[in-house]
Amino acid sequence: MNFNSTVELLNRRFQESRDQSPRYRPFLDFWEKILQVQSRFISANEPASFPQPDSRTQMMLREGFPLSPFQDVPVPPERMRALFQEILRALDPVNPKISAQLPLLEDWLANSGPDFQTWRELVLREDGRAFIREAEANGLDPGILLFLFLASWKPFLKSQALALKQTPGFDWTVWSKGFCPVCGGPPLLAYLQQDGKRWGVCSLCEFSWNLPRFLCPECETSDPQRLRYFFTEPEHGFRVEVCDGCRHYLKTIDLREVGGEPLPLLDDLLTTHLDLWARDKGYHKLALTDQIG
């Protein structure tokens, strides 16, 4: 499925989900606005081209080194600033917390906001704590600012992943790690395909890769005594895979039971109740800050 077809399917599924799951309507409206802006940006920008893979790049994949680590992806500050502002204005009507912060965020954007390289470096320091301190020093809600910042960063990462995916010759089957072979991000969730293989979808660049079935993506244990999964009777195709070693979890959707076309961002949103269950049991979702300490 090409990019435009995926966007069309996503728009249709959003509308269907509003009808089928009215309790999620506010969240669906919120995320649809973000995805609309991000999709327009990606479709309007030509992804970078990559040279044909050579022995070095294949060695990197075999040895577990991401080909394009997210912290090294070039991001023109003026384009990220424009994207940040477009996302901010799109969310203003649908999120009261962002609306309340709008004047402060607009002022920040007009002054220190253009220095996005510095803010990217803050995200990558001290598990993001340096970013939080600087946001508070600017009188901003650090959670909102970090969310908007990452939402504005993601399309650049996704464009990079699309370019790599479209470059022929890479042997992705040699990758055996729990994190993304393109950018190094953690999986957002996973899918069990018709052949029983588990595919992870990156939470940062949305690249998908063959994620070993019996492997914790966080601590990479394959000890069967530590790995378990849970599901509810009405939802056989949706499961929470947990690791009792590091106490992290990963939501997994079994397409053999559920069918349909995977749409990771929407599927993640519509299974929020599984996140709540896992957190209530003391498990933690794989997060960006786990990867950037």
Query: 261-293, pLDDT tens digit by residue?
Result: 888 988 998 899 999 999 999 999 987 643 332
Domain boundaries, the chain: 3-166, 175-291
pLDDT attached to residue 282: 96
The rounded distance, in Å, linking the Cα atoms of 141 and 135 is 7
Amino acid of residue 38 = Q
pLDDT value for 287: 72
| CATH tag, 175-291 | 3.90.1670.10
CA distance 66 to 184: 5
Cα–Cα distance between 59 and 78 in angstroms, integer?
35
The reported pTM is 0.87
What pLDDT digit, counting tens, does each position of 50-88 carry?
Answer: 777 888 999 999 999 999 998 888 888 888 888 999 999
Which residues of the chain register pLDDT less than 70? 1-6, 46-49, 112-114, 288-293
Within the chain, how many helices (H) and strands (E) appear?
12, 7
Predicted local confidence at residue 4, as pLDDT: 58
Q: Which two tokens stand for residue 143?
A: 């959670």
Q: Chain centroid to CA 289: how far?
A: 12
SS3 284: strand
Q: What is the pLDDT of residue 247?
A: 96
For 203, phi then psi, to 5°, come to: -75, -15
Nearest by Cα to 97 from 39, 148, 135, 167:
148
CB 150 within 8 A of CB 34: no
- The predicted pLDDT at position 3 comes to 56
